[in-house]
Amino acid sequence: MAILDTDHRRVLTLPGQRVLELGRGRPLVMGVLNLTPDSFSDGGLFATVERALERALEMEHEGADLVDLGAESTRPGGGVYGGGARPVPASEELDRLLPVLERLRASTELPLSVDTRKAAVARAALEAGADLVNDVSALADPEMSGLLADEGVPVVLMHSRGELERMQHDIAFDDVVREVAEELSRRLEEAVSAGIDRRQLVLDPGIGFGKTASQNLTLLREIDQIRALGRPILVGASRKSFLGRITGRPPAERLAGSLAVAAWCAARRVDILRVHDVRETLELLDTLEAIQRSRDEDRSPEEAS
Ligand code: HH2
């Protein structure tokens, strides 16, 4: 089996005739830009417009394929996360998001996604030039699916259960992989029934959202079963607390664990990796790809044909 598979090309269509090509041989790297005071690993770091712009352009320079702007922390409540993030009203989310998004859009063609659960925020972000919507609630806002069907942009549907505030208190799966796959499949079909183009939908198992550390590991181990739903897969495991359980490290020191997950996912043809450490993740993926390519180049012409 090829480590980095090139036979699963798919295209997400962005506004303005632009595309995101998936399955080109390595996962795409989505850089995280948290415009929040309270995100679990980097809250407050990019809280000024200047600092946020600088980080976004730095990620572009490092080779990010897209950048995900989030202005509300989605840190779940309970367990290692304590009380969870404070929900913010749409007006506050927009006050954090729009000044950065507008200036970023004016400076780069890089695909920009908005990480939001609110249709009002998604609408304003798309008007300001966002290209895709990353919804960790998978269309819980009743206005969201209609908006996305009309806009026709790519959408990430992430698996989670229950309210963020209590999510880590109420964990109950008999078979985490089967149940996540079934629930994601239901959300996928609901999205399609609501008029969203199936070809624009990306699925995400929601690592860290209402799952125990060992359930997160099981989902990663069995990620092929989520891929079997037939849509591109995004994984967001970067710096998450299950990595801290393994390595004993605080969020900002979980690079090695995050890279291990990236390598695992690349070998299983995950399409998009949502990461804080863009440069290091790309160096890892480039190295995997070089090993793969060297094997192809070493083959004799007969073997390679
Ligand atoms: N994880 C976080 C936020 N958004 N989106 C998707 N699709 N998948 C994820 O796993 C995911 C996500 C949480 O990470 P982060 O943004 O770093 O923290 P916070 O929510 O505290 O801002």
- How far does residue 128's CA lie from ligand 1's centre (Å)? 22
Alpha-carbon distance of 299 to 301, in angstroms, equals: 6
pLDDT band at 1 (very low <50, low <70, confident <90, very high): very low
Report strand pairing: 28-34 vs 272-275: parallel
Ligand 1 nearest-atom number relative to CA 72: 22
Phi-psi category of 139—alpha, beta or left, where left has phi over 0 and alpha has psi -120 to 50? left
Q: Exactly one of 75, 240, 268, 269 is catalytic; name it.
A: 240
Q: Would you say the CB of residue 41 lies under 6 angstroms from ligand 1?
A: yes
Q: Smallest Cα–Cα separation from 238: which of 254, 214, 215?
A: 254
pLDDT > 50? residue 211:
yes
Radius of gyration of the chain measured on its C-alpha atoms: 19
pLDDT digits (tens, 9 = 90+) for 87-114: 899 999 999 999 999 999 999 999 999 9
What mean pLDDT do residues 169-187 have?
93
Least confident residue range of 22-26, 38-42, 146-150, 205-209: 38-42
Dihedral angle, C-alpha 185, 23, 277, 72, nearest 10 ° = -30
pLDDT-derived band of residue 170, with 50, 70 and 90 as boundaries? confident
Q: In Å, how far are 9, 31, 183 from 63, measured between CA atoms?
A: 20, 9, 33
Q: Which pTM was predicted?
A: 0.92
**5-19, 53-67, 144-158, 212-226: range with lowest mean pLDDT:** 5-19
Q: Is 292 a residue whose pLDDT tops 60?
A: yes
Question: 291 CA distance to ligand 1 centroid (A)?
Answer: 31
CA 97 to chain centre: 18
Residue 13 neighbours by CB distance under 10 Å? 17
**What is the DSSP pairing of strand 272-275 with strand 234-235?**
parallel
More confident residue, 78 or 158: 158
Asked if residue 36 has its Cβ within 6 Å of ligand 1, the reply is: yes
Amino acid at 94: L
Residue 2 confidence (pLDDT) above 50: no
Cα dihedral: 85, 88, 90, 95 (round 10): -100
DSSP 164-187: GGGTTTS---SSHHHHHHHHHHHH
b/e sequence 216-253, b meaning 16+ C-beta within 10 Å: bbbbbebbeebbeeebbbbbbbbbbbbbbbeeeeebee
pLDDT at residue 79, as a whole number? 60
- Residue 134 Cα to ligand 1 middle (Å): 10
Q: Cα(71)–Cα(81) distance, rounded to whole angstroms?
A: 18
